[in-house]
Amino acid sequence: MTQRLDYSAIAPDGMAAFAAVHNYIAHSKLRFAIINLVYLRVSQINGCAYCVDMHTRDLLKAGVPNEKLVLLPVWHEASEMFSEHERAALAWCETVTNVVETRVHDEAYEAVRKYFSDKEVVDLTLAISLMNAYNRIAISFRATPAAVKELQTQP
């Protein structure tokens, strides 16, 4: 995969605005694992190799078990691997990411509110929205995943 252009160099102010939202979310009351599981799940849904690679690496570095990451795409069927909070966040991320199909029904909203405060629901939705935007940028301009770059530099 060859990157089409370096969007960060071409539009540094725009990417800095995204980074400011990312920083806001990182300093919210949402737990690191919840945020990054949501980032990873959104990226899986959207098929963003760059972000899947990045967030998988982040979660592994943070000590999240490999088995949990492997089962993330099928978390509904492996629910024992995920806490109630994680399941609520993952369900919300899927319904928000697939908004055209789901229309984010009241049932989905009420389900996430069982485990998160109003502020946390807003912050979680900001995180989901941000990752959807990042995915669209990375996919559009073919950002190269770190794993691919590592392969390209091997002799």
Predicted confidence (pLDDT) per residue in 32-78, tens digit: 999 999 999 999 999 999 999 999 999 999 999 999 999 999 999 99
Specify the CATH class of 7-153 in words: mainly alpha
Distance, in Å, from the CA atom of 88 to the CA atom of 47, rounded to the nearest integer, reads 22
- Check residue 50 and give its pLDDT: 94
Give the percent of the chain with pLDDT over 90: 89
Torsions phi, psi for 141 (to 5 deg): -105, 10
Under the banding of pLDDT at 50, 70 and 90, the label for residue 152 is confident
- Check residue 151 and give its pLDDT: 76
